Amino acid sequence: MNWRALEQALFDAARQALQTLLDEGGSPLYAAAFHASYREEEAVLSLPSLAANSLQALAEAAPDGGEESFSSVKWNPVDWHWDWEICEGEPFTRLDEQLQTYANRLGPRQWHAAERRFLVTVSRAARALGRHFSQHPGVAPGFVVFFHDFDGDIALAKRSMTRQQFEVNFPVELAIENTLRDVAALPVEEQVAFYVSRLGSWDGICGEDAERWLVAHGRPAQAALIEQLNTQEAPSTAARILGLAGIADAPVIQALRRQAIEANDPPTRDWSATALGYLEDFDWLMQQAPDMAVAGVCANFGSFRWQGVQPPVLNYAPVERLLDQRPELQTAVEESLGQAYGQIEPTAANVSEALRGLASPHVAIRRHAVKGLSNRSLEGDEAHRAVEGLGVAMGDVDEQVREEAGRGLEG
């Protein structure tokens, strides 16, 4: 893949589009952006469009001025006045063919590596474009060109601009950055109090940011989270964080057990049971009501578990124990595991457990295990072991297991 050629082609096409617009005069442009790059793993890395906006167009779209955060109309190219499909014809037809072939030739890891290089390439083209037009009389002071993508958000956009451009154009994000720096300098108890206070917030340092910090600092945050669990404000969020932090201390277990049984709202009861599953409180969970037992014992197979301090380690033993002790829960367990995220961390231990799961007498476990082994991210010895296991699973008595094994082998 000729990344330099792609960068130059993006720059040339965008420069021509902007130059034509600027030659027409009118209100100064304050920004341009590469955007609308659709990306799907092992399928496509689509080349971007180019958009631009002027101060006049912004005033017409947001006459009251509006807010200036990265998510506002001011910085969202979809809402801008000009938008061009610049990547049509040569040399883009040839470069796009090269890009798709390069990205999709060797499985998920290769695709993600190509995506990372693609993001760098587009960001470099945006930075060069911004430098090229920075002194043009048709652009406003602080004119900036960036790569806009909702997945990368402001962090991706910052790759395309100088520090000064960031500080001038993004006061909201700059304020967040400064607040994070100031909070980091506080004693840890005050940091905990600050992030707990942000749970449920949508602006500034939002609840998701606060959750990530509290999960990563589970030990010093433990007492405050238990207190939060016992209040009326975001108790279910506190339960989830306590579970994902992975510290199974007695006060945490006791508080979660109490909420799993006594909480008034279903989300708090559900998340408390799930958190107990994250913390492997299986003996207690197996004695509880059916919904709680299944939710807790199967919790480590769900997608939320990947947000924990440590990645989940595949372990079918608690599910097997639950099904052996309470066979009437088989349908509920099958439904829970069927909805669970199928991929596994590509480690030797996880592959070994998935291979063991293929021999389980419980069909729900075999169905989950075969999905876990149908993982194109596996490499080397683990990939060979997975292929052998999938071959054996082709003879399973369950049709779903056989079909998934076939898809896995094909992949």
Q: With 90 as the cut, is the pLDDT of residue 153 above it? A: no
pLDDT of residue 195: 97
Confidence category of residue 324, pLDDT binned at 50, 70, 90: very high
Q: How far apart are the first and last CA of the chain?
A: 24
- Using a 10 angstrom Cβ sphere, with 0-12 exposed, 13-18 middle and 19 or more buried, the burial of residue 178 is exposed
> In degrees, to the nearest 5, what angle opens at C-alpha 103 toward C-alphas 101 and 109?
145
Per-residue confidence (pLDDT) for residue 14, from 0 to 100: 98
Q: Is the pLDDT of residue 376 over 90?
A: no
Count of CA atoms in the C-beta half-sphere (13 A) of 315:
14
Question: What pLDDT was estimated at residue 23?
Answer: 94
Task: Write down the CATH number for the domain with range 342-411.
Answer: 1.25.10.10
Least confident of 149-163, 195-209, 236-250, 345-359: 149-163
Conformational region of residue 141, where left means phi above 0, alpha means psi within -120 to 50, and beta covers everything else: beta
Percentage of the chain beyond pLDDT 90 is 86
The structure's pTM equals 0.88
Structure token digits, residue 117: 């290089």
Q: What is the pLDDT of residue 379?
A: 87
pLDDT score, position 152? 65
Q: Which pLDDT belongs to residue 138?
A: 96
| Highest mean predicted confidence (pLDDT) among 59-63, 210-214, 343-347, 373-377 | 210-214
Q: What is the pLDDT of residue 346?
A: 85
Q: What is the pLDDT of residues 231-241, one digit of tens each?
A: 877 799 999 99
- pLDDT reported for residue 203: 85
**Range name among 126-130, 217-221, 262-266, 385-389 with the lowest pLDDT average:** 262-266
pLDDT in tens, 78-93: 999 999 999 999 999 9
> Which pLDDT score, from 0 to 100, does residue 191 have?
98
Encoded tokens for 394: 């082709």
Confidence of residue 7 (pLDDT cuts 50, 70, 90): very high
* Whole-number average pLDDT of the chain: 94
User: Residue 67: what pLDDT?
Assistant: 75
Half-sphere exposure of 71 (CA within 13 A, CB side): 6
User: What is the Cα–Cα distance from 302 to 337, expressed in whole angstroms?
Assistant: 8
**Predicted confidence (pLDDT) at residue 8 exceeds the cutoff of 90:** yes
- Is the pLDDT at 389 greater than 70, yes or no? yes
* Domain ranges within the chain, ordered by starting residue: 3-177, 187-313+323-341, 342-411
The pLDDT of 192-217, averaged and rounded, is 94
Q: What number is the average pLDDT over the span 100-112?
A: 91
Rounded to whole angstroms, how far apart are CA atoms 323 and 231?
A: 35
**Residue 142 DSSP SS3:** strand
Contact present, 165 and 130 (Cβ < 8 Å): yes
Predicted confidence (pLDDT) per residue in 248-303, tens digit: 999 999 999 999 999 989 999 999 999 999 999 999 999 999 999 999 999 999 99
% of the chain at pLDDT higher than 70: 99
Place of tokens 């404000």: 233
